[in-house]
Amino acid sequence: MLQVGEKAPQSVLHPVMGLPVDMTRQTTVLAFLRPVTGSQPRRAVALLQEAWPRFDAAGIAMVALTDADLTFTRDFVPRYHVLYPLVCDTTGEFFRAYDVQRDRGFTSTAASLRPASMRLALASLELGRDWTTLPSSQLPAFFVVARDGTVKYARYGRSITEQPDIEALWTAAAP
């Protein structure tokens, strides 16, 4: 897990719509979210959208990353008027690079399942399929990374319901 003061992986992020974001050009707020198909990640998207103008005016990049389906995410961005970059990390490359984990506990995974999905989940367990075939239990995480790659803020979610602390992100990122 990345800690404040450590060097974070930096790269150019390619959102589903809009221009690429080069993390070496400005301080960047990264919000790792569950797939945006659920109500909790949509709430996080709305909180970030509300805060985005303040960050953008200060020259701070704000990027949300999700492991949702690319086709769905491309439809989601204009439908919900998301103005900040939203990156679809279908390979999990960035989630792994920042050590953002999935909640693999049985009770939390079972709690995230809809009743209609329970039969699929039980079949997956019986057949020994990987947990990735089950509905996502991706934990959220939030970072502020300076231009030089230094982590200024890091918070790893402990529950799939955690939301971004906008004021803490602002305090860590503000010039």
Rounded Cα distance between 61 and 131, Å, is 33
Residue 147 lies in a domain: yes
Task: Write out the residue range of the structural domain in which residue 153 sits.
Answer: 12-102+138-173
Q: Is residue 6 part of a domain?
A: no
| Any domain includes 54 | yes
Kindly state the helix (H) or strand (E) to which residue 168 belongs, with its residue range.
Answer: helix 166-173
Residues 29 and 83 in one domain: yes
User: CA of 16: how far to CAs of 37, 66, 91, 111, 142, in Å?
Assistant: 15, 11, 14, 30, 20
CB atoms within 10 A of CB 174: 12
CA distance 139 to 114: 18
Q: How many domains does the chain have?
A: 2
Of all residues in the chain, the percent with pLDDT exceeding 90 is 56
- Do residues 144 and 84 both lie within one domain? yes
Same domain, yes or no: 114 and 142: no
- Does 74 share its domain with 155? yes
Q: Which residue has the higher pLDDT, 51 or 112?
A: 51
pTM of the model as a whole: 0.80
**Do 125 and 77 belong together in one domain?**
no
| Residue 84 sits in the same domain as residue 132 | no
Do residue 71 and residue 125 come from a single domain?
no
How far apart CA 165 and CA 172 sit, in angstroms, is 11
Residues 37 and 122 occupy one common structural domain: no
Would you say residue 131 has pLDDT above 50? no
Nearest-CA neighbor of 160 among 37, 36, 30, 40?
A: 40
Residue with tokens 């989940």: 121
Output 127 or 13, whichever has higher pLDDT: 13
pLDDT at residue 98 greater than cutoff 80: yes
CATH assignment at residue 78: 3.40.30.10
- Cα 91 to chain centroid distance, Å, stands at 13
Whether 7 is covered by a domain: the verdict is: no
Q: How confident is the model at residue 160 (pLDDT cuts 50, 70, 90)?
A: confident
